[in-house]
Amino acid sequence: MEDEKIVELYWERSEAAIAQTQSKYGKYCHYIAYNILYSDEDAEECVNDTYIKAWDTMPPKKPQRLSTYLGKLTRNIALDRYDYYNADKRRSNTALVLQEVGEVLTAPEDAETFSDTQALSDAINSFVDALPRETRIIFVRRYWYMSPIKDISSDYGIPEGTVKSILSRTRKKFKAHLLKEGIYV
């Protein structure tokens, strides 16, 4: 079923919306949650929570890209659960990914806090869009889907060291891009 029709089902308050969402995007959402939590059971709970959150937010929201909307919901739910489970532990893949991104997005102490999320979103999108295809895929796999470096390396036939180098160079370019845009987070 087309995404527009699924969104219409949510707006009509039809329970078929959940079934169609599960059929089309269940594995996608599970993949996102699993890469954060590393537990099938927890990932499945996050996916179910995603369906509830989608039900609760449509209407009034009417997402243009349902996959992106569901992915964002799932990711945020899984990250919240990760924070809850790991308040004192910080050695997992998820913690490493968050630490890597945090190094880029941490501003000097005397910098003003950036609060315009739309400008930040635009800056991120313009940066990612300008990346070469392979670099963009690796960057998004690591920092959006939180895929382990080992999996990225295996999936694309690239040595792990090369993936790490690409990510390191890209983070430096990303930080420079944000600074050039005047964005401190």
pLDDT at 108: 42
CATH of the domain at 156: 1.10.10.10
Is there a single domain that holds both residue 107 and residue 51?
no
Is there a single domain that holds both residue 11 and residue 66?
yes
CATH of the domain at 61: 1.10.1740
How does the average pLDDT of the chain come out, rounded? 86
Q: Is the pLDDT of residue 114 over 80?
A: no
pLDDT, one tens digit per residue, over 31-57 is 999 999 999 999 999 999 999 999 999
Going by pLDDT thresholds of 50, 70 and 90, the confidence category of residue 110 is very low
pLDDT at 94: 63
The predicted model scores a pTM of: 0.68
CA 13 and chain centroid, separation: 27
Q: Is the pLDDT of residue 88 over 60?
A: no
Segments forming the whole domain that contains residue 56? 3-85
